[in-house]
Amino acid sequence: MWNQKVLKAVIFDLDDTLLTSQIDFSEMKIKMIEYLERRLPLPVELNKNRLTYEIIQYAVESLNELDLSDCIPKVVRELDGIMSETEMKYVFNAQLIDGATQTLGRIKSVGMRIGILTRSCRKYADEVLKTTGLSTFVDVVAARDDCENPKPDPSQVYWLMDKMGVESDQVLMIGDHPTDLVCARNAGIAFVGVLTGAWSPGQLNQLGPTVVSSVKELPRLLNL
């Protein structure tokens, strides 16, 4: 649990936490898998039920096992290109989640800093924040391009904390997916889950002990 008296910053996941992106992740993952199947003799069949970072991890592990480690940078770069192309295809379809603007405005009004942590590319993050008007409230963005190991690796969180000048006990992370919770735990920071992603109330245990229906409830939860 966070200490309300020392809280100085809030880190938000982007898609399905602050906005509904409309990105077709099934389309993205199918294209990634088709690329890998053309490119590599994969020992195990991939399917779109895997998360994007799991597909990339599997590709890297397979290349190492096949003694093709020299190919890893190119393959990872081309998979990243597939993800970025799909993200940008849907960038203007994004819609704000109810209460997102008001919540960020309230957090800023009490002097706290706001960071965005996303596995989307920098170009998508910057554009979608601008078009939805959220960029007005955001101090720092950590996108997929900004870190060699995006979430659930804690590197992005550390990068954001450094940019915002806060310590682990001074920051709270908000997200809609178990990956966000794992990332927060890996970084040693407090976490609040929201139910605006593809998770039912029956899956609350996957979002940690503190869960609210949406970011609209955060000001009340944080006594702002």
| pLDDT per position as a tens digit, 23-68 | 898 999 999 999 988 887 766 677 777 888 889 888 888 888 888 8
Q: What does the pLDDT average to over 58-86? A: 90
Whole-number average pLDDT of the chain: 89
Phi, psi of 64 (to 5 degrees): -65, -45
Query: Do 114 and 12 contact (CB within 8 A), yes or no?
Result: yes
pLDDT of amino acid 202? 62
pLDDT of amino acid 47? 73
- Rounded to whole angstroms, what are the CA distances from 129 to 74, 89, 201? 29, 15, 28
Q: Provide the token pair at 134.
A: 């959220």
Q: Provide the token pair at 4.
A: 């309300």
pLDDT of amino acid 203? 61
pLDDT, tens digit, for every residue of 155-183?
A: 999 999 999 999 999 999 999 988 899 99
pLDDT of amino acid 201? 59
Q: What does the pLDDT average to over 96-113? A: 96
pLDDT of amino acid 2? 65
